[in-house]
């Protein structure tokens, strides 16, 4: 894998994060899967890596969950504080050192976060704060996602970098077991949607995913130029999810 020269900078993305990654029909489909498989409705839920608060707010408003969100990045958390409904708790904290007592939550949820944390420390912390009978639901990309992702042909090292960052389902299952979870199952979700050329270019120019921070400047420039020349008016976006459901 090409070396990761930089650490993803979420503060630089905070102001435009929701504009570049707005919830759409695929987002809500995944939301429904998380609520169903995680049994989140009406539960006391901790979201790890809540970002700008979109998922935390939706859980409170649509699923009657009592939600706390933790987020290490101050700029992202500032956006979340402006958008979540009253009653959603927010704390600036890392997944590796959760500021809650043992067994405080019924459920834990992570969406596109597990590849960003030190899992050897973060997963035991998640297990610690779950009550007996608790459950964690973790949404990440399946290995089959990366080569078919629409950005892969524009940025040649992107797929390899993300394959190394994102845990494979079996590896994550083993890590959850080592963290103290009793059992894990995996639910897969395959999604297709269309993206306009204008929206795709705006996402590339806005560096809408953190992997962009791990590409070198030449690859960024060349891939952006190719996108401006080659992207069609409409392109199909394929998303392949692996959702781990772990019972305490």
Could you read off the pLDDT of 107-162 as tens digits, one per residue? 999 999 999 999 999 999 999 999 999 999 999 999 999 989 999 999 999 999 99
Residue 101: CB atoms within 10 A of its CB come to 9
Report the sign of the C-alpha dihedral through residues 27, 33, 36, 37, in that order.
negative
Task: Tell me the C-alpha distance between 41 and 6, whole Å.
Answer: 38
Please state the domain count of the chain: 1
Which residues face 83 on adjacent strands? none
How big is the CA angle at 231 (ends 14 and 198), to the nearest 5 degrees? 45
- Per the domain annotation, does 208 fall within a domain? no
> For each of the chain's 248 residues, which pLDDT tens digit applies?
334 446 789 999 999 999 999 999 999 999 999 999 999 999 999 999 999 999 999 999 999 999 999 999 999 999 999 999 999 999 999 999 999 999 999 999 999 999 999 999 999 999 999 999 999 999 999 999 998 999 999 999 999 999 999 999 999 999 999 999 999 999 999 999 999 999 999 999 999 999 999 999 999 999 999 999 999 999 999 999 999 999 99
Pair type for strands 105-111 and 44-48:
parallel
What was the pLDDT predicted at 140? 98
Dump pLDDT digits (tens) for 208-221. Answer: 999 999 999 999 99
Residue 181 lies in a domain: yes
8 Å CB contact between 150 and 195: yes
Integer Cα distance of 75 and 78 in angstroms: 5
Pairwise CA distance, residues 87 & 65, whole Å: 10
Q: Is residue 24 part of a domain?
A: yes
Determine the structural domain holding residue 17 and report its residue range: 11-142+166-190+241-247
Distance, in Å, from the CA atom of 45 to the CA atom of 34, rounded to the nearest integer, reads 12
Residue 30 forms part of a structural domain: yes
Give a yes or no: residue 147 inside a domain.
no
**What was the pLDDT predicted at 116?**
97
Per-residue model confidence (pLDDT) at position 168: 97
Q: Does residue 43 lie within any of the structural domains?
A: yes
Q: Is residue 227 part of a domain?
A: no
In a domain? residue 217: no
DSSP codes of every residue in 70-106: EES-HHHHHHHHHHSPTT-EEEE--TTS-SS-TT-EE
Tell me what pLDDT residue 4 has: 40
CATH number of 62's domain: 3.40.50.150
């Amino acid at each position: 894998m090409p070396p990761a020269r930089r650490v993803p900078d979420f503060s630089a993305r905070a102001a435009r994060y929701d504009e570049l990654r707005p919830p759409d029909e695929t987002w809500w489909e995944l939301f429904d899967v998380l609520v169903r498989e995680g049994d989140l409705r009406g539960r006391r839920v901790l979201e790890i890596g809540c970002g700008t608060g979109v998922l935390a707010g939706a859980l409170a408003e649509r699923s009657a969950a009592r939600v706390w969100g933790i987020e290490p990045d101050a700029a992202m958390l500032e956006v979340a504080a402006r958008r979540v409904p009253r009653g959603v708790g927010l704390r600036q904290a890392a997944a590796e050192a959760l500021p809650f007592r043992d067994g405080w939550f019924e459920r834990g949820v992570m969406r596109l976060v597990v590849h960003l944390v030190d899992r050897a420390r973060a997963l035991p912390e998640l297990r610690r704060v779950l009550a007996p009978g608790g459950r964690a639901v973790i949404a990440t990309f399946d290995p089959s996602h990366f080569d078919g992702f629409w950005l892969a042909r524009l940025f040649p090292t992107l797929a390899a970098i993300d394959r190394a960052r994102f845990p494979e389902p079996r590896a994550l299952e083993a890590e959850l077991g080592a963290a103290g979870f009793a059992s894990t199952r995996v639910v897969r979700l395959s999604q297709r949607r269309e993206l306009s050329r204008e929206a795709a270019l705006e996402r590339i120019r806005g560096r809408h995913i953190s992997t962009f921070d791990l590409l070198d400047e030449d690859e960024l420039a060349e891939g952006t130029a190719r996108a401006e020349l080659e992207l069609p008016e409409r392109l199909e976006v394929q998303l392949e999810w692996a959702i781990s459901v772990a019972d305490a």
